[in-house]
Amino acid sequence: MSFEEVWSKIEKHAGETFHTKDGVEFTYKIEGDLFIAAEGDQTILKSDFQRAYRMIPQVLPEEIEKIVKGPAYVWSVLNDERISEG
């Protein structure tokens, strides 16, 4: 699946509840090329998601924090079955 298809799904599921790998619930909204997590007021660029997407599944969750801003959100969203189809 192309990253643009993935980003489209991320946009589609904005406002829904997601969970970090540690079980923390969060929601988000999308404004242009920005992902904005409601909890923690974290803003992440679309390009960070794209960078991480190119590396998954080769990168481990703890390694992603060296690559992108907001790694817990990025990992959780990209690995959610609504986005990645498993």
**Residue 13, helix vs strand vs coil:** coil
Work out the widest C-alpha separation in the chain, in whole angstroms.
Answer: 30
Looking at residue 86, its pLDDT comes to 53
Q: Which residues pair with 37 in a beta bridge?
A: 28, 42
pLDDT in tens, 41-72: 789 999 999 999 988 776 666 777 778 888 88
Looking at residue 63, its pLDDT comes to 75
Closest CA to 76 of 22, 40, 34, 33: 22
Average pLDDT, the chain: 89
